[in-house]
Structure 1
């Protein structure tokens, strides 16, 4: 397997989305999203992508970990954890030493433990309050 700190292609993105049951997005929407991604990682095996993850954010303090996907037949091999850790490390390395860093994630139901193993805490937790989402179509 080859890990690359680059975004997947639009086709790879949609193939991975479909592989985990998330459907497909319009190609123009995916292209725009990928072009505005702060950090991305794609994992390839053979001729295709088997995993991807992205960090989106302001480039200085706030990021959100999104689109963490590993093809079902490759899950359980540590690929997801390795992708997330590489993105977290990239964001940490790029910030000034005196700067703080906040990375949020919205977990799929039942996957919270995966993110907790990377150091994320469940919300509501103390001063951080509850996470909320607005989805529009």
Structure 2
């Protein structure tokens, strides 16, 4: 497996996104989202895209990890770990010595143990309350 710091194409994004059972938005909405992301990450097996993730943020105080997905036939083989390690490495490379930033993500209940291995904490905890989410649609 090989990891690259690159954004998936909208078609690659849609295929990997759907492969894990998520309902993907249309290709134009995906294209806009990818164009406004800080950095993309792709993982390949013999040139075949098998996983992806993207990073949003402000390069100073906050980062948001989004759309971490690996094709089902490649799950539990280290691809997700490589993606997470590369994203966290990328974030550290952006920061001057002495800075600290918040890194956030939303996990499915099944993924919580995976993300805890990287230091993520489940909310609420002693410092943070529950995270919140809203899907806003334009009618």
Fold conserved between structures, TM > 0.5: yes
After the TM superposition, which of the residue ranges 71-80 and 95-104 deviates more from structure 2?
Answer: 95-104
Matches within 5 A, 1:1-137: 1-137=1-137
Give the Å deviation of 1:8: 0.6
Find the residue that maps to 1:12 and give its secondary structure. Answer: helix
- Whole-Å separation in 2 of the counterparts to 1:84 and 1:61: 19
CA deviation map 1:98-124 (0-9, x unaligned): 321110110012210000011101100
TM-score, length basis structure 1: 0.94
Which ranges of structure 2 fall in alignment gaps of 5 or more residues?
none
- Whole-Å separation in 2 of the counterparts to 1:66 and 1:45: 21
Give the Å deviation of 1:39: 2.0
Confirm or deny: 8 A CA contact 1:16 1:70 kept in the other structure.
yes
Confirm or deny: 8 A CA contact 1:12 1:48 kept in the other structure.
no
- Whole-Å separation in 1 of the counterparts to 2:98 and 2:36: 25
Change (3 A) 1:127 1:74: same
After TM superposition, where is structure 1 displaced by more than 3 Å over at least 4 residues in a row? none
Confirm or deny: 8 A CA contact 1:53 1:69 kept in the other structure.
yes
CA deviation map 1:42-73 (0-9, x unaligned): 01223531000111111211011110000000
- Whole-Å separation in 1 of the counterparts to 2:48 and 2:11: 10
- CA RMSD of the aligned region, Å? 1.2
Find the residue that maps to 1:3 and give its secondary structure. Answer: strand
CA deviation map 1:7-63 (0-9, x unaligned): 111100000011011132211111111111112210122353100011111121101
Find the residue that maps to 1:128 and give its secondary structure. Answer: coil
